[in-house]
Amino acid sequence: MTSAAIIETRNLSYSYPGGISALSGVNLDIGQGEFVAIIGSNGSGKTTLVKQFNGLLKPSKGRVTVDGMDTRSTRVSELSRIVGFVFQNPDHQIFAYSVWEEAAFGLKLQKLDAESVERQTSEALQAVSLNDLRDRHPRALSRGQRQRLATASILALRTPVLVLDEPTTGQDFLSRRQIMELAVDLHAEGRTVLMVTHDMALAAEYATRVIVMQDGAAVCDASPKEVFGREEILKATGLDLPPAAKIARGLREYGFSDTPLTQAELVENLITAIRG
């Protein structure tokens, strides 16, 4: 699945105005078709990092290229055809007067014909179960629904790369599953998905690669199995094991040797072990 890098960072450093350093010396290759989780404590640089990928922020030092384009010399409108960005707080993104207008806005900017705008917008709203509310004012939606609307307006653009900043924050279990199933489908279609999250279970269950940020640096970059196997990294960065992995680790003293990451894996491993 993974092929050439669609996003590259080389010695990427970034300081916010006033000189506060937020990223230092980050080197990453994100391959086309990867499903990457970016984890780390509040203030570790996760969101600052992904904001470099659509040109919202530009490197203070070093370089970021997206589909071969240097973000410093490329317009945001150009980059946003490649990288769709769903914000953590939907209210920073939503401004239109109806659900449909909000979801269609980006497509209209791209000057697509009316038929394609209608089709892509409806499909995106359907994907997040908001098509029935298309005439509703966004402010009349619940926080969870607004988050899904923000996702739909980016989905409609059909960008090859999708950045989801804390996609499941404030979502109940069903919406969380729905959003993640959507991300899985998009990934299966060959799109690259980058997800910033505090939810370790989410990273363990869905990502093929996990990047751990700490103090503006990528301190660990490996498969979920490997990252969640390195307790010293988790401890040093203030992160947790996914709940199922935590239970499995505690079971070692009972002779349990499997290393499941998800609840389903834990149940399966336990049944085999108990019967064995």
Partner 1 sequence: MKDSNVVVEELTFFYSGAKEPALSDINLTFQRGEIALLIGATGAGKSTLYMCLNGLIPHLVPGRVGGRVLIEGTATSDQSISALAQKVGFVFQSPDVQLFSHTVREELAFGPENLGLAKSEILRRIQLAATTIGITELLEREPAYLSGGQQQSVAIGAIWAMLPEILILDEPTSNLDPQSSRRVLELIRALNTEHGKTILIAEHKIDAAAHFADSVLVMHEGRIEMQGEPRQVFSQAEELHRMGLVAPTAAEVAFQLSKYGYTFDSWPLTAEEGIQAFGELL
Q: Which residues bind to partner 1, rule: CB under 8 A?
A: 40-43, 88-89, 142-145, 166, 169-176, 198, 200-201, 238-240, 243-244, 246-247, 250-251, 253-256, 263, 266-267, 270-271, 273-274
Rank residues 83 and 241 by Cβ distance to partner 1 and give the closer one. 241
Q: How far is the CB of 29 from partner 1 (least distance, A)?
A: 26
Determine the distance from the C-alpha atom of residue 47 to the mean position of all C-alpha atoms in its chain, rounded to a whole number: 10
Rank residues 143 and 225 by Cβ distance to partner 1 and give the closer one. 143
**Could you tell me which of 27, 65, 67 has the C-alpha nearest to residue 216?**
27
Rank residues 131 and 169 by Cβ distance to partner 1 and give the closer one. 169
Beta carbons of 56 and 76 less than 8 angstroms apart: yes
Beta carbons of 130 and 77 less than 8 angstroms apart: no
Q: Can you list the positions of beta strands (E) in the chain?
A: 5-16, 20-31, 35-39, 61-66, 69-70, 83-86, 161-165, 192-196, 209-214, 217-222
Q: How far is the CB of 268 from partner 1 (least distance, A)?
A: 9
Q: How far is the CB of 134 from partner 1 (least distance, A)?
A: 18
Q: How far is the CB of 54 from partner 1 (least distance, A)?
A: 22
Rank residues 47 and 71 by Cβ distance to partner 1 and give the closer one. 47
Rank residues 24 and 169 by Cβ distance to partner 1 and give the closer one. 169
Q: How far is the CB of 224 from partner 1 (least distance, A)?
A: 16
Beta carbons of 194 and 207 less than 8 angstroms apart: no
Sorted by sequence, the CB contacts under 8 Å of residue 122 that are 6+ apart come out as 131, 134
Rank residues 66 and 244 by Cβ distance to partner 1 and give the closer one. 244
Q: Residue 227 and residue 213: Cα distance in Å, rounded?
A: 12
Strand order in the sheet with 83-86: 83-86, 161-165, 192-196, 35-39, 209-214, 217-222
Q: How far is the CB of 69 from partner 1 (least distance, A)?
A: 32
